[in-house]
């Protein structure tokens, strides 16, 4: 993501990758004004009125946002609203701005500190490499990529015959189609099957690490993320941090320790200054702005957790908001 501050309250944004769309879906709220280019029917000229087929023209409009739609792992963010800036004939009409890779939009709003923090994080993350995974066990392989908002499953390969070499060849071919070797690859799974795959394909692979896991599928990938084995590789990565924080929360809950969840309970401990880390799901981020402000005023860290991965889904089931406490007041 590239950003440029324009007039007061207006920030121009260029989308560089799919992660940027996830950030924008959490930054833009109903009531904000978003500027972008759209295509509208040109019905004004006499020529166009006489033509049976009405052509479309490209215009820049500003819409007051009413609704956002972002599908996990899609390449589009759909922003729906009412045109409030643009050619006079279109003012007050409904319009959608579809934002994809390479597009530029401007957002005008009263910016909150947490929203600016997300923008800066998006810019920083755009400079970090993504990490690919090959999880493999006897007769099955899963290829996935770690993004800022979660893990995207790219391909599954299943053994068809009896020969390992045929299966390994298909896995390697599929891997080379979806993996950019300039980014690290983690090869994981149980036992020695992954080592057999490496012997088969080692000359074709560079920039990889090997890790032991209980499963050679998505379960194994989540296990590796939480285990700490890849800390050096993943220490700055958003999802790895989120998995660990939610896991810490679950451990505190299990031992009846320093935790709180649900808006009412979390607010109580925020008012006592007892919260060390506030965890909020991306679905509830906009709903709990008052608690985010309270956390900031009491020195608590705020972490927005994506519901596109396992940890975020767990947090959402706990009400979408939870806290790790410094202490538990009597």
Kindly state the DSSP code that residue 130 receives in the 8-state scheme: P
Residue 330's pLDDT is 65
Residue 71: is its pLDDT beyond 70? no
Higher pLDDT, 150 or 86: 86
SS3 state of residue 92: coil
Contact 17, 125 (CB under 8 A): no
Of 86, 211, 216, 236, whose CA–CA distance to 140 is shortest?
216
Q: Give me the pLDDT at residue 129, please.
A: 66
The answer as to whether 20 is a domain residue is yes
Q: Which of 236, 221, 243 is nearest to 152 (CA)?
A: 221
Write down which residue in 205, 234, 263 finishes a domain: 234
Strands, E assignment, 71-184: 77-85, 94-99, 104-108, 131-137, 140-147, 150-158
Alpha helix positions (H), the chain: 18-27, 46-50, 113-125, 164-178, 193-201, 218-227, 231-234, 238-254, 263-271, 289-297, 310-317
State the Cα–Cα distance between residues 62 and 90, nearest whole angstrom: 11
Are residues 115 and 173 part of one domain? no
pTM for the model? 0.77
Looking at the DSSP bridge assignments, the partners of residue 58 are 39
Confidence of residue 54 (pLDDT cuts 50, 70, 90): low
Q: What are the beta bridge partners of residue 300?
A: none
Domain of 302, in residue numbers: 240-325
Average predicted confidence (pLDDT) for the chain:
89
The pLDDT, as a whole number, for residue 182 is: 85
Residue 173 above 90 pLDDT?
yes
CA distance 238 to 121: 10
Residues 291, 285: Cα–Cα separation, whole Å: 10
How many structural domains does the chain have?
3
Q: Is the pLDDT of residue 236 over 80?
A: no
Read off the CATH number of the domain in which 156 is found.
3.30.420.60
Task: Annotate 299-330 with DSSP letters as a single string.
Answer: T-EEEEEPTTSHHHHHHHHTTSEEEEES----
Checking if the pLDDT of 55 tops 80, the result is: no
In a domain, 330, yes or no: no
Contact predicate 146/243, CB 8 Å: no
Least confident residue range of 50-54, 71-75, 134-138, 280-284: 50-54
Measured between alpha carbons, how far is 177 from 130 in angstroms, rounded to an integer?
16
Domain assignment of residue 172, yes or no: yes
pLDDT of residue 119: 92
113 and 90 part of one domain = yes
Which residues lie across from 82 on neighbouring strands? 64, 94
pLDDT digits (tens, 9 = 90+) for 78-130: 999 999 999 998 999 999 999 988 899 999 999 988 899 889 988 888 777 67
Confidence check: pLDDT of 313 > 60: yes
The last residue of one of the domains, among 78, 109, 125, is 125
- State yes or no: pLDDT of 44 exceeds 70: no
Considering the domain architecture, whether residues 119 and 190 belong to the same structural domain is answered as no
pLDDT tens profile 24-36: 998 999 999 999 9
pLDDT tens by residue, 182-232: 889 999 999 999 999 999 998 899 889 999 999 999 999 999 988 878 877
Same domain, yes or no, for 111 and 61?
A: yes
Looking at 107, 125, 143, the residue that finishes a domain is: 125
Region 321-325: what's the mean pLDDT?
97
Give the residue with greater pLDDT, 72 vs 128: 128
């Amino acid at each position: 993501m590239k950003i440029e501050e324009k007039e007061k309250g207006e920030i121009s944004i260029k989308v560089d990758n799919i992660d940027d769309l996830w950030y924008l879906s959490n930054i833009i709220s109903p009531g904000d004004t978003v500027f972008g280019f759209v295509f509208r029917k040109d019905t004004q000229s006499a020529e166009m009125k006489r033509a049976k087929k009405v052509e479309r023209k490209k215009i820049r409009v500003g819409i007051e946002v009413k609704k956002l739609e972002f599908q996990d792992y899609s390449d589009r963010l759909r922003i729906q609203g009412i045109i409030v800036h643009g050619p006079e004939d279109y003012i007050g009409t409904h319009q959608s701005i579809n934002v994809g890779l390479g597009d530029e939009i401007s957002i005008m709003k009263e910016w909150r500190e947490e929203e600016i923090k997300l923008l800066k994080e998006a810019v920083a993350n755009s400079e970090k490499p993504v990490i690919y995974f090959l999880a493999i066990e006897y007769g099955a392989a899963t290829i996935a990529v770690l993004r800022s908002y979660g893990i995207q499953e790219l391909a599954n390969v299943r053994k068809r015959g009896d020969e390992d070499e045929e299966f390994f060849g298909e896995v390697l071919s599929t891997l080379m189609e979806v993996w950019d070797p300039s980014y690290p690859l983690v090869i994981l799974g149980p036992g020695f099957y992954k080592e057999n795959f490496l012997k088969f394909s080692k000359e074709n692979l560079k920039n990889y690490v090997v890790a032991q896991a209980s499963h050679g599928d998505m379960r194994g990938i989540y296990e590796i993320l939480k285990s700490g084995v890849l800390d050096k590789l993943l220490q700055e990565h958003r999802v790895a941090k989120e998995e660990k924080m939610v896991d810490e929360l679950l451990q505190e809950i299990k031992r009846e320790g320093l935790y709180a969840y649900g808006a009412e309970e979390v607010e109580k401990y925020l008012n006592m200054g007892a919260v060390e880390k506030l965890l909020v799901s991306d679905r509830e981020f906009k709903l709990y702005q008052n608690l985010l402000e309270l956390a900031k005023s009491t020195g608590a860290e705020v972490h927005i957790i994506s519901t596109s991965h396992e940890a975020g889904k767990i947090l959402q089931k706990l009400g979408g908001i939870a806290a790790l406490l410094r202490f538990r007041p009597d």
